[in-house]
Amino acid sequence: MIKIYHNPRCRKSREGLQILQECGKDFEIIEYLKENLSFDEVNTIVNLLNIPPTTLLRKNEAVWKEHFKGKTMSDEDIIASMVKFPKLMERPIVINKEKAVIGRPPETIKQIL
């Protein structure tokens, strides 16, 4: 099943959700700011995206600047920071079986549908 990691307050995430609604396929919405993701879930997302964890980070978020900016962090530390502060994750993220994309721009979601 297709999954979208969604933040309803984010315009890009809402646009990504609209693309999924228009495709006519079943999908699951995961509001990752409400549902606490585990370390393993975030790690799986990073692996499916085939990117380093830093690419998934929103480095302009205040929480990043206050707690982590300028620190040397391992990939595990970065994933743990996204688990603790899910607002640090880019959005939307769409997963379809073994493929995943960050929906920035939202049209990239069409690549895996």
Q: What is the SS3 assignment for the chain?
A: CEEEECCCCCHHHHHHHHHHHHHCCCEEEECCCCCCCCHHHHHHHHHHHCCCHHHHECCCCHHHHHHCCCCCCCHHHHHHHHHHCHHHECCCEEEECCEEEECCCHHHHHHHC
Q: Which residue in the list 4, 5, 10, 18 is annotated as catalytic? A: 10
10 catalytic residue (yes or no): yes
List active site positions. Answer: 10
